Structure 1
Amino acid sequence: MDAKGEPGSMPGEQIVFDVNRESEGHDFFRLGGMDVSKDGRWLLYGVDVTGDERYDFRIRDLESLTAADADGAFPDLDMPMADESLSFRDASAAEPAEATAGDEATERPAAAELPEHFDGIGSACFTPDGKWVFWVEVDDSWRPFAVWRHQVGTSVDDDVCVYREADERFWVGVGISFDERNIVIGTGSKTTTEVLMLPVVTPEGEFQAFIPRQTDVEYDVSFACFEGAGEHGEDVPLAVVYHNAVNPNFEIDVIDMRDHKPPYRLGEGVCVAAGSPYGCEHGESDKPITEAYFNPANPAILQGAHGLGIEGIALHRHFVSLSYRSDGQPHVAYMTKDAASADFLAGRPWRFVELLPPPLEGDWDMVAADRQDVTGDHGETLWTDDAEKAESSASASPGTGKSATSMKGDGISKRSGDWFGGLFGSTTDHTESSDGASDDHLPGETRRLYTIGTGGNPSYDAPRMRYSFASYTRSGELHEIDPATGKDTLLKRATVLGDFDPRNYMERRVWITARDGERIPVSLVWHRDCPAQDSPMFITGYGAYEISSDPGFSVARLSMLDRGVLYAVPHIRGGGEMGRAWYEQGR
């Protein structure tokens, strides 16, 4: 794909919606939603042209964009119509726009649209076959509160209300499940959620609560299947439930839907991953948040994690991805769908593998390259006061020729924790390592601190997984990995002007001890040619609303680092870096 090419210029590329063209003649224009039928012919879209956040939805025939003849005639529209008296119209006829000289957009053929439209609504979605629309009504206070069913080709006056939420604390939404087998209604308040479902093959049926609503319990459900995994080669339908009924840091249960029809109950099925309850008000509040957590149901990569929080899971046709937080940072793990199926049916923990950003060539941080050489429970270098033991167990940092425990030339020595700990408060006796790590294996090491996440995987059938990452000193990158082979492909990297080289900057996570004995993660960033000790320091921190201050790249920060400033981010309580308890203890 040519990034500089004109939209629609690539062979096989079709422009289905041009916001610039659609917005002509309007002082305000905002796209409020878009859905395409499974066969790619029908487009359901909504726009707001007044700014009141209510959207007018239309149904457009995309086939007419390419099939219109030279005279502008539209092809025969063979959509099954419930009312043959209804006809199609030219999408451009209702709201004509003045053509301007040289405007290529006006040369494109107009598209035909169905006569029915849904004005002033909140959102809408197609069923995969494009024959039904489910849309959300909003009340006078703009609260989405009701879901309506519409049969394409009929008058909207005949639409049927299929769900109405009477509790004004709850907002309603509707959509199609990821595997496109169910129509899903979600309703939720600030602390309580509920999901209702209906198979797409019976759109005129009655929605059923998947798990009945329980006060102060949040849950969500996605649907998938293990293709051909049944005893006779049939698919195994699954419900993947993400909830906090028994664990404030959430857990994921997978239910075999062959056992019985809904409703189901919270906790039913096989637990795939569970967060740490340590320090939580409704968990084990007497234990430190940073105590290592072990759970026999968890995958091996989660054993011994600190501040473990489960963020979500996605089951695709070919792979499974798991998002979680541990040791104050976001993480992603993955595995093939076949391996997940085998583990689920055998009743054993799933064999996830952590997704690690590929190292830069010649970089001082070769986290992926030396993965097999580290000695911690889940990949971290262990730090101790025994210099002889540290010398034998710590890997040399590639490209520097120095031990990872003695980065004197790069500004941090093994006793760096003395000065940093003194700044925020003295360390406690049980913390043996100078950087705040201890025999509890908290990761304290000079390595890039990444924010990583999956994204750009909207299709259940995607053969490969897309993910993105960035660190304090490495600009954002978009990658694609094949879970079956491990082949990783760079798709895009953010451009940084000038002579920027990420290898010139260092990052480190240290742990300091607060007055109550809890250990706090702190991120440090500096230029490798500048001594970190006795350097001017810029400190910034935020702890509120369970919002995490995760690593992120900043061009503006480079100037400060180049001038010898040490950049420090204490990840204080009130945020969400170490899970729910981190927020609760900072309120």
Structure 2
Amino acid sequence: MQDAPIARIDNGDDPYRWLENRDTDEVLDYLKAENAFLDAQMTPQAELRERLFQEIKGRIRETDLSLPSPWGPWLYYRRTTAGDEYPRHYRCPRPADGSLTLDEQAEQLLLDPNVLAGGGFLSIGTLSISQDHARLAYSLDTEGDEIYRLFVKELATGEVTELPFEQCDGSMTWANDHQTLFFGELDDTHRPHRILRHRLGEAGASEVYHDPDGRYFVSCYRSSSERQLIILSHSKTTSEAWVLPADVPTAAPVCLAPRQEDHEYFPDHGVWNGEPCWFIRTNQDGINYALYRASERQPTREHWQPLVPHDPQVTLEDASLNRDALILSLRENGLPVIEVRPAQADRYRLALPDAAYSLHVSDTLEFDSPTIRVRYEALNRPAQIRQLELASGAQQVLKETPVEGPFDPDAYVSERRWATAPDGTRVPISLVARRETLGQPAPLYLYGYGAYGHSLDPWFSHGRLSLLDRGFVFAIAHVRGGGDLGEAWYRAGKLAHKRNTFTDFIACAEHLVAEGYTRPERLAISGGSAGGLLIGAVLNMRPELFGAAIADVPFVDTLNTMLNPDLPLTVTEYDEWGDPNDPQVHARIRGYAPYENVTAQAYPPILAVAGYNDSRVQYWEAAKWVARLRATRTDDNLLLLKTELGAGHGGMSGRYQALKDAALEYAFLLKVFAMAD
């Protein structure tokens, strides 16, 4: 059996800093050696990996059609075909009867990513049709580094023009003249810092807005009414919006409210009582947000009027606008809620069948449509696209993601449980298992994230069935730092309170063991990106509590990354983790950073995955962490590092490659848990 690679140790505070020397032969040789070691260690599972891949693929309808979206004279939709990595994008004439029936004889192919990818990496940043339906603007990343090239396609002739701009963030927003595009540019730290305006047929682009503050990301989007363009500059804690008419793309933007530290607001434009109106979701009254409105003529902050007051028990996460209704996306008791306020009827909330679920507005369709679409799914229920009739509240399932082969959602039990953190806080856990699995200790896969206020609402997975059907329990720890129980839950797991994220996760693991769902030696934990930091931290704190760990693009070199302002996105992260140039913050991050806190103790088997072109979490974070683990730990458990040399933060881009990645992960768990397949 091939020996594990041993990384060279340098003198100094960071003995593996040399792994940051991108593109050098020494670094590439080391990463390739780690990949070869993984392949050698997993060779006995090669047949199992292929069987898992075919099993997961067999549940997915490989040739399928998305739900068509009506817009103007067309239906827009995607079609997947067996053997293709990416869906193709189409449109066909919209039926006069208002149905969603496709006329395949008259359909037009808009874009085929399979041809554009050429067998390599491909990510589409934007795919946007001009308001007259004559042009398609799209952006492509072919490296995984999230730097995009911009293109415009004339749909009548098929002619494609690449726009002569570099360092683009992939965004492209049309003005109403069908000729002008607004797009974002990245600075040297990979931050979207500037919005530029380009008119087709003219040379160059002119600056519309620039934010020199390294904490702020700048974006541009169209309002729901299609009448306004909105430029938003947003840090982790503060925002500022500038607006201009979509009909007058050369107009000077107007600021709705100059930035004020810790004031976040998000504007949209719609209709109120038949009149054009601004709607502003703002935290000026409290952390759970309120909704204000302002006239189109007087949109600035001094003219805002309250519409939906702040509620200390309910978070207003979003507001979707329609000509005849206001749709509120709320979070209450840890669950998403959609409340509809029709213009001519009483407000109501959507009724749903499961105790724990994911729910969001997926498509508001046209601004004057009498319906919207919502996406609903649960751990044991595939995603459904439901049409909601706004005036009456009537729901209709238009499409349910198919599961090929034998599948009965009622064969799986979905539960919500609560653990108690060391400070007495109750932490929710969502879990799913086959009915016959519950009632006895079983292998359990516990997933966590806990950062940026991101909520881990329960989701369905075709691949996960391969674990559940082999007797696994799957659970989500809704730890502080996420937004699962609202803004206060997020704030209780960031900056000086970051340790709560880790102790919450440990409390969830201990609860699942104490309640007989699993045993420590059968407990696998997993997280990616900031969730990988979580995994690295709890492994240092309580390695004996876990039987295996998977860390995907893990943010484990936290302190060194936050000390380097030249790295992409570092300065923007100060509001999430703190600025370690402050000695007190430095000590705090140093106290939990996974890389620095690796110690001479036994760790469970670990699989780490990195993307060489990842601009968010650099490849060397996982590489340095694994190198230090190899040199420091006291065990000889399986320790594997896979670096995707042609991918970025999201891994390889094709749908079949994603299934192969899942098959590797599952085969790793079955191997280390000695579960014969």
> Fold-level match, TM-score > 0.5?
yes
Partner residue of 2:185 out of 117, 133, 137 = 137
Q: Distance between the aligned counterparts of 1:160 and 1:451, measured in 2?
A: 42
- The alignment partner of 2:110 has SS state of coil
| Residues 524, 568 of structure 1: 8 Å contact kept | yes
Pair 1:585-2:512 in alignment: no
For residues 92-146 of structure 1, what are the alpha-carbon distances to aligned partners after superposition, in whole Å with 9 as ceiling and x for unaligned? xxxxxxxxxxxxxxxxxxx235696444433332212213222333333333222
Partner residue in 1 for 2:172 = 124
2:348 aligned with 1:353, yes or no?
Answer: yes
Answer yes or no: is 1:264 the counterpart of 2:270.
no
In 2, are the aligned partners of 1:254 and 1:272 still within 8 Å (CA)?
A: no
Does residue 481 (structure 1) correspond to residue 574 (structure 2)? The answer is no
Pair 1:58 & 2:151 matched: yes
Residue 446 of structure 2 aligns to which amino acid in structure 1? T
Aligned-residue sequence identity (percent) comes to 29
2:294 paired residue among 251, 255, 271: 255
The letter of the residue matching 1:112 is E
Q: How far is the alpha carbon of 1:531 from its aligned partner?
A: 7.0
Q: Given residue 340 of structure 2, which amino acid in structure 1 is its aligned partner? A: Y
Distance 2:122 2:236 in 1: 30
The residue aligned with 1:328 is 334
- Could you say which residue in structure 2 is the equivalent of 1:378? none
TM-aligned CA deviation for residue 41 of structure 1 = 0.7
Are the structure 2 counterparts of residues 14 and 576 from structure 1 closer, same or farther at C-alpha, using a change threshold of 3 Å?
A: same
Amino acid of the structure 1 residue aligned with 2:265: Y
Match of 2:630 in 1: none
Change (3 A) 1:448 1:144: closer
Contact in 2 for aligned 1:535/1:565 (Cα 8 Å): no
Q: Any conservation in 2 of the 1:59–1:117 contact (CA below 8 Å)?
A: no
**Cα pair 1:212 1:263 within 8 Å, conserved:** no
8 A contact 2:177–2:247 mirrored in 1: no
**Corresponding residue for 1:13?**
107
* In structure 2, C-alpha distance between the alignment counterparts of 1:523 and 1:36, rounded to whole Å: 39
* Change over 3 Å in CA distance of 1:179–1:508 after alignment to 2: same
**Amino acid aligned to 2:147:** R
Alpha-carbon deviation of 1:194?
0.7
Distance 1:34 1:563 in 2: 40
Cα shift at 1:554:
4.4
Task: Identify the residue that residue 319 of structure 2 maps to in structure 1.
Answer: 313
1:576 alignment counterpart: 483
Q: What is the CA–CA distance in structure 2 between the aligned matches of 1:29 and 1:548, rounded to whole Å?
A: 27
Q: Superposed, which structure 2 residues align to 1:241-390 within 5 Å?
A: 241-257=280-296, 260-265=297-302, 268-276=304-312, 293=313, 308-339=314-345, 351-357=346-352, 367=353
Mapped partners of 1:531, 1:119: distance in 2: 54
CA–CA distance in structure 1, aligned partners of residues 476 and 246 of structure 2: 49
| Runs of 5+ unmatched residues, structure 1 | 65-110, 230-234, 277-292, 294-307, 340-350, 358-366, 368-446
One-letter amino acid matched to 2:108: Q
Alignment of 1:410-449 (within 5 A): 448-449=355-356
Contact 1:137 1:148 in 2 (8 A): yes
Secondary structure in structure 2 of the residue aligned to 1:467: strand
Question: Residue 236 of structure 1 corresponds to which residue in structure 2?
Answer: 275
Q: How far does residue 460 in structure 1 lie from its aligned partner after superposition?
A: 2.5
Task: State the partner residue of 1:493.
Answer: 400
User: 1:64-102 CA deviation, whole Å, 9 max, x = no partner?
Assistant: 2xxxxxxxxxxxxxxxxxxxxxxxxxxxxxxxxxxxxxx
Which whole-Å CA distance do the structure 1 matches of 2:477 and 2:142 have between them? 44
Paired residues of 1:221 and 1:242 also in contact (CA < 8 A): yes
| Alignment partners' CA distance in 1, 2:121 and 2:484 | 39
Query: 1:52 Cα shift?
Result: 5.2
**Is the helix fraction higher in 1 or 2?**
2
Query: For residues 574 and 490 of structure 1, what CA distance do their matches in structure 2 show?
Result: 34
Specify which structure has the bigger relative contact order, considering alpha-carbon pairs within 8 angstroms and separated by 6 or more residues.
2
Report the RMSD for the aligned CA atoms in angstroms.
3.4
Partner of 1:112: 159
Q: 1:194 to 1:490 in 2, by over 3 A?
A: same
Change (3 A) 1:5 1:147: closer
The whole-number CA distance in structure 2 between the counterparts of 1:49 and 1:519 is 44
CA distance change for structure 1 residues 128 and 519 in 2, over 3 Å: closer, same or farther? same
Q: One-letter code of the match for 2:223?
A: S
Alpha-carbon shift at residue 514 of structure 1 (Å): 5.4
- TM-score normalised by length of structure 2: 0.52
Deviation at 1:163, TM superposition (A): 2.0
Alignment match of 2:267 (pick from 221, 225, 228): 221
Q: 2:253: which partner in 1?
A: 207
Query: For the Cα contact (< 8 Å) 2:365–2:371, is it kept in 1?
Result: no
Residue 383 of structure 1: aligned partner: none
In structure 2, do the counterparts of structure 1 residues 338 and 131 end up closer, same or farther at CA, with 3 Å as the change threshold? farther
Rounded to whole Å, the distance in 1 between the matches of 2:465 and 2:120 is 40
Q: Secondary structure at the match of 1:212?
A: coil
Q: Tell me the residue number matched to 1:149.
A: 197
1:514-535 deviation digits (Å, cap 9, x = unpaired): 5655444444655556774x76
> What's the offset of the Cα at 1:330?
1.6
Deviation at 1:565, TM superposition (A): 7.4
| Structure 1 position 161, deviation (Å) | 2.1
Assess if the C-alpha contact under 8 Å between 1:480 and 1:488 holds in 2. Answer: yes
Instruction: Read off the aligned partner of 1:579 and give its amino acid letter.
Output: G
CA gap 1:488/1:563 in 2 versus in 1, 3 angstroms: same
Whether the 8 Å contact between 1:253 and 1:269 is mirrored in structure 2 is yes
Structure with bigger gyration radius: 1
The residue type equivalent to 2:159 in the other structure is: A
Instruction: Name 1:408's counterpart in structure 2.
Output: none
| CA displacement at 1:324 relative to structure 2 | 1.4
* d(CA) in 1 for partners of 2:486, 2:207: 40
Aligned pair in 2 of structure 1 residues 523, 19: CA closer, same or farther (>3 Å)?
Answer: closer
Q: Does 1:45 align with 2:138?
A: yes
Q: Aligned equivalents of 1:50 and 1:476: distance in 2?
A: 30
2:207 is the alignment partner of 1:161: yes
C-alpha contact 1:510 1:521 (8 A) present in aligned 2? yes
Q: 2:574 — aligned with what?
A: none
What whole-Å deviation, never above 9, does each CA across 1:494-533 have from its counterpart, x for those lacking one? 333554322344444455665655444444655556774x
- Structure 2 unaligned blocks of 5 or more: 1-62, 66-78, 82-87, 91-102, 498-677
Quickly say closer, same or farther: Cα 1:498–1:237, change in 2 above 3 A: same
Change (3 A) 1:472 1:203: closer
Q: Counterparts in 2 of 1:391-410, with a 5 A limit?
A: none
Deviation of 1:315 (Å): 0.6
Instruction: Measure, in 2, the Cα distance between the counterparts of 1:568 and 1:53.
Output: 31
